[in-house]
Structure 1
């Protein structure tokens, strides 16, 4: 029979060799780990739900050799922790595992035991991969050992310029039948063949993609992506976040824009006021809108937004002109949640009382209002005093006013 051989160097610089099933417990007593008979006693005690003191007594009665109380205590703590973790139901372990990165999850738990492997292979366990600035060593491990295990349960992925080309040389989106969410971070101009490969891969999942985040990509790539989004080539896309790299895009240059009945959540950064209104007429099912509006335009004569976006009930605006915010409030009466971040320190909101009257007269269904105002370059104390109005005091838990210095 093949036996494992172990060598131990003691404090006297003497080497003792023994096989795995013929322990020399006098030698093992010099190590930090408790002898295996002690561990077996502690394991039985933990399973019987004995206390630490009772376990110490059991070791003293059943083990003939000498063992320090600290080793028994440490072993007892490890056994208790292990038994508590393993006693958790599968549903709770699935929930815990869902918060871990796949590479960490498989490093820590894969092949730990049959039950854990079964849970790791459960179809209800959804995985999310972040390839943005991932270390090369971690990327290699992930590709070699983990991807085959999770490919059919991958639900979201984040790709950046540093990993995109490498990713597509090793994987095909056909392998991810349940991939529904994608984040594209700071993609720059590709070679023509690389651009074609990227968009071919993207269109392979166009019928399943429901969430898309685009952050500061190169303008040429952004335009091609927006053409795909707003020409309705992603028929299940419900949520879209567009964070521009520099200047806001002119949506008129995209050519024909189709009605996107499926899109319900839109976050758009550095958007011109006119361009936002132009885009909204193609998003009739919009329920949530978050926008940072820049530019200086005349807003008179605009369409009534209540007819364009009748389902919109949550609005978060960042503006440099109060009349932008005022226009939205006056033309979307069905809003229930409103957030305002006001950035112009030189052109204040008229007054707290005016703002309260605007909300009360325009939004009969308003349930919550959050407002952040800057440190205005004038008599700030007097202005803040206008918010000490009974209308705010009556709604102190629903209307929150913050000062951003």
Structure 2
């Protein structure tokens, strides 16, 4: 009995397809019938295509099939042909050229109507190039499709806008940096933002800060770019995001003394909605006490009974899990021989944790 290729189950067809190059696969089987088109468009199938000068002309044949594109070479390519792209990454090596950025910002509603995720890596020297400025402006003035929900601009520093900014569609934003003074301005332009990641610079005058509150931001990752974290600035930051559920902070503490009770007083006021807290603080050598009795901590409370001591890259660390709501604190010394504390506990036991660390 002679059987046709179409009689084979999808599993065998996929196995056969794996022996073909993506370009040959699409040229040979696309548009034959609905079944083959459905298999080729299956979101679970990921095909990587390396674009070269030899095959670039063939890409046009099935450009509409591309949904995730990662541009990481120097080949001249017109990204405007990929009208069905959902996720677009430009860079990091090499950084996108001005020509590529110009393609991105030229009528994005027309050429990228389904774009939901955008990542653009830029070097410092291109921040203020015309296509870069145009990209920044168009992102925050709704020139892209309302489907664009996630945007990452590593290295891009937020500056006060020269035009009216307002982008209700963005749900996630990662940028290179923002000042604490400008943070409420940034947040006010993104009313539906759920996630923000940025480096943060503090300011001297905390008293004159905005009383702005963001009602939707629930997950924030902050890295303090200064020699020491000022708790007043941290408190000011948290006041902008009263409904925070997940908070990640990284910074340096170079004072001669470190009082975790002060940190406790700042953070405990924000625990009404907080479910996860992750903190990495680099301490100066004069702060860290290397004499930590792990058995004492384990016996102090049953919450700490599973705490473990481990070594990673010449740094000792403590880890612990406990409670439905998790809290994580990490104190990392710049000295390779110093200790690192990494504790995850129930927020209700935060006072006990402060006592344990102060007595360690």
Same topology, TM > 0.5: yes
Q: Tell me the residue number matched to 1:314.
A: 219
Q: Please list every run of 5 or more consecutive structure 1 residues that lacks an aligned counterpart in the other structure.
A: 1-85
RMSD, aligned CA: 4.2
Q: Tell me the residue number matched to 2:281.
A: 373
Q: Tell me the residue number matched to 1:294.
A: 201
2:247 corresponds, among 332, 338, 352, to: 338
1:223 corresponds, among 128, 133, 136, to: 133
- 1:4-403 matched pairs, under 5 angstroms: 89=11, 105=22, 118=36, 121-125=39-43, 138-140=51-53, 142-145=55-58, 148-149=61-62, 151-159=63-71, 162-163=74-75, 166-168=76-78, 173=80, 175-185=81-91, 186-189=95-98, 199-200=105-106, 202-217=108-123, 218-219=126-127, 220=129, 221-236=131-146, 237-244=148-155, 248-252=157-161, 255-294=162-201, 296-306=203-213, 309-319=214-224, 320=226, 321-323=229-231, 324-342=233-251, 344-347=252-255, 350-381=258-289, 393=304, 396-397=321-322, 398-403=326-331
Q: Secondary structure at the match of 2:52?
A: helix
User: How many Å separate the matches in 2 of 1:130 and 1:222?
Assistant: 28
Report if aligned partners of 2:90, 2:120 keep a CA contact under 8 Å in 1: yes
User: How many Å separate the matches in 2 of 1:157 and 1:195?
Assistant: 15
Give the alignment's TM-score, normalised by structure 2: 0.64
Q: Report the CA distance between 1:379 and its aligned residue.
A: 2.4
User: How many Å separate the matches in 2 of 1:390 and 1:357?
Assistant: 21
Q: Secondary structure at the match of 2:69?
A: strand
Q: Please list every run of 5 or more consecutive structure 2 residues that lacks an aligned counterpart in the other structure.
A: 1-7, 306-319, 335-360
Larger helix share, 1 or 2: 1
Report if aligned partners of 1:314, 1:336 keep a CA contact under 8 Å in 2: yes
Question: 1:349/1:176 Cα in 2 relative to 1: closer, same or farther (>3 Å)?
Answer: farther
Higher relative contact order (CA 8 A, sep 6+): 2
The size of the alignment, in residue pairs, is 288
Q: Tell me the residue number matched to 2:353.
A: none
Larger strand share, 1 or 2: 2
Give the alignment's TM-score, normalised by structure 1: 0.58
User: How many Å separate the matches in 2 of 1:161 and 1:251?
Assistant: 33
